[in-house]
Amino acid sequence: MRVFDFNSAIVRLPGNSVVEGLRAKPGPSPDYGRLRSEHAAYIDALRHAGLEVTVLEALEQFPDSVFVEDPALVFSEAAVLLRPGAASRLRETEALAAPLAARFQKVLRVSGGCVDGGDVLVTPKCAFIGLSARTNAAGAAELQSLLASIGIASQVVNTPRGTLHLKSDCSLADEETLLATEELANSGLFDAFSIITVPRDERAAANAVRVNDVVLVNADCPRTAESLMDHGLRVSLLPVTEIGRIDAGLSCMSLRWFDRGITSAGERMV
């Protein structure tokens, strides 16, 4: 099974408060109605790719809670509750604890430091954990220990200066190929992979999502989409203009995993 083979996902609806979400740079607030439409299209794309999607209710008290990948990681073997690096997001972890406990026999927890799921890139070789403004050495070290306990090797790396998350600058296109910004492509961190470098004016495209046999790509990045198709990959273009106004992209809006308790017919084994 490939690391991007999934049959299950969890997403959370954006609340009205999402327009107050965190932003590293100044800019206009997102339009709530258009953002909801973008999020709905994202859910449709996951379902079209073959995933059973659980949709959690919005949490108005947590503007950034639509981005469920930062407070947790999920694998077939277990879920891992993280400690987000932004203080306003710390309590989002507790809001995911019960939904994850209902779906995973084993739920692990990072108890020290800070680590965001947006800094964790899972590849066939290992899980790369990027140190950033949202993930520190203590959190990364504890996460490494937890991942080792479920048989997942990991490596801690430094993200390029000025990058919010590791996956802001890269994503997995196939088992041997990364999509990456020029800075990350030239960093030497991923010399073991082939790299498709995104154009400078399409940096946001580096945060793509491989789901089974399709790559979800920012619709505002047509040249990157063309490069992926030239590489022999199937691409689904998704609008994320409003979502991108609040330090976010495609990967952070879902938790994706392969649930071995679901049959090929979509039925749960008991």
- Write the pLDDT tens digit of every residue in 49-99: 999 999 999 999 999 999 999 999 999 999 999 999 999 999 999 999 999
Mean pLDDT in residue range 105-122? 97
Q: Does 263 score more than 80 pLDDT?
A: no
Considering the candidates 114, 170, 221, 252, report the single residue annotated as catalytic. Answer: 252
State the Cα–Cα distance between residues 127 and 131, nearest whole angstrom: 13
CB of 190 closer than 8 Å to CB of 184: yes
The reported pTM is 0.94
CATH number for 8-257: choose from 3.75.10.10, 3.30.465.10, 3.30.470.30, 3.30.70.2860. Answer: 3.75.10.10
Q: Residues near 52 by Cβ (< 8 Å), separated by ≥ 6?
A: 7, 8, 9, 259, 262, 266
What percent of the chain has a predicted confidence (pLDDT) above 90? 88
Active site residue 231: no
Considering the candidates 165, 170, 221, 231, report the single residue annotated as catalytic. Answer: 165
- The tokens for 27 are 């800019």
Active site residue 221: no
